[in-house]
Amino acid sequence: MAIHPVRQITLQDLITLRGDEAQDEDFYVFSKNTEIPKTGVHYPSRSNFYTFLLVTRGKIDVKLNLIDYSTEKDTILFLSPNVTVQFMSVSEDFLYYGIAFTPHFLTKAGINKKYSDTLDFFSANHQPQLSIKHSDANILCSSLDALYRRSATDKHYPFRTEIVQHLFAAFLYELAAIYQNNYTGKQVQVSRKEDITVQFLKLLPLHFREERGVKYYADQLFVTPKYLSETVKEATGKTAGYFIDEMVMLEAKVLLKNASLSIAQIADELHFSDQFSFSKFFKRMAGVTPSDYRRLG
């Protein structure tokens, strides 16, 4: 029987949800749109690609790896692969530009590691969002407009692929420049503690089903469990253990929505020793048993 945990979204899934057609296998530009697709994205999901959103009007509230963010006009929202994403609310006047691309596209576009690392600049201070000047937002909109027009061109257009790749590289450099200018032209220095927290939050979605102990993540990051918990709490206000438990709970609640799965199957999927252990964990976290949660939900 198929197990359906937090949904894994591919780039083709995103295109289908938007009712659009694929422009390229590893790259997609979506123009201004007043609506986030109703299917899939309001449900917790993870992707295997990067997504860049520039809000030009209205407001969107999103939860990324269990942390809440509110994004308004002239704000960039950047979603990395494997981050658990759930759009919580979208204002009626919401308007945005967007671009999605796989890590493989970076290589095809000739973006070497030195410059692809600029994608990590949103990790500074653990903020996957950045408020920018309206004039800078207009520059990015113009860049995305050019990308959209060219990517929508017939695939047989001479040098179409090369033009798209160069426009994408220009967009990425423009984005990096705008980021640095918003920080007085200097590279933001991420402290050791900030880096550890970012790396922990990247590891968590990949391993939480099998590894629910802080020690595992501390070992991966070459620190002690106590240091990891203290570091994460200093940066986020919540301990490493809290994030692990909440990630497991998010997955459990999604699985419990699938009535065809037994509680025992869900416990096995989440690598609990048995159904009793899972039920005990769930009740401690949610205040009700898995069966009651399913019945009440």
**pLDDT surpassing 80 at residue 19:** no
Rounded Cα distance between 98 and 29, Å, is 6
Which position has the higher pLDDT, 145 or 123? 145
Superfamily of domain 192-296: Homeodomain-like (1.10.10.60)
| Residue range 9-33: mean pLDDT, rounded | 78
**pLDDT surpassing 50 at residue 16:** yes
Rounded Cα distance between 280 and 53, Å, is 40
**pLDDT surpassing 90 at residue 279:** yes
pLDDT band at 224 (very low <50, low <70, confident <90, very high): very high
Return the SS3 of 181.
helix
**pLDDT surpassing 50 at residue 125:** no
Per-residue pLDDT at 33: 56
Q: Please state whether the predicted TM-score (pTM) of the whole model is above 0.85.
A: no
Highest mean pLDDT among 67-81, 212-226, 233-247: 212-226
Per-residue pLDDT at 122: 47
Strand pairing category for 27-33 and 59-64 = unpaired
pLDDT tens-digit series, residues 240-252: 999 999 889 988 9
Rounded Cα distance between 201 and 79, Å, is 13
| Residue range 39-57: mean pLDDT, rounded | 78
Fold of 7-181: Jelly Rolls (2.60.120)
Per-residue pLDDT at 211: 94
Which position has the higher pLDDT, 122 or 167? 167
pLDDT tens-digit series, residues 156-208: 778 888 888 888 888 888 887 887 776 554 455 557 887 788 789 888 888 99
How crowded is residue 154: how many other Cβ atoms within 10 Å of its Cβ? 6
Strands ordered across the beta sheet of 129-131: 27-33, 95-101, 50-57, 75-79, 129-131
Could you tell me the residue ranges of all domains in the chain?
7-181, 192-296
pLDDT band at 110 (very low <50, low <70, confident <90, very high): low
Mean pLDDT of the chain: 82
Rounded Cα distance between 65 and 81, Å, is 11
Pick the closest to residue 245 from 220, 275, 272 (CA basis): 272
pLDDT band at 42 (very low <50, low <70, confident <90, very high): low
Query: What backbone torsions phi and psi does residue 79 show, to the nearest 5 degrees?
Result: -110, 120
pLDDT band at 118 (very low <50, low <70, confident <90, very high): low
Q: DSSP for 19-67?
A: T---S-SSEEEEEEES---SSSSSS-EEESSEEEEEEEESEEEEEETTE
Q: How many residues does the chain have?
A: 297
pLDDT tens-digit series, residues 257-274: 888 899 999 999 999 999
Per-residue pLDDT at 104: 79
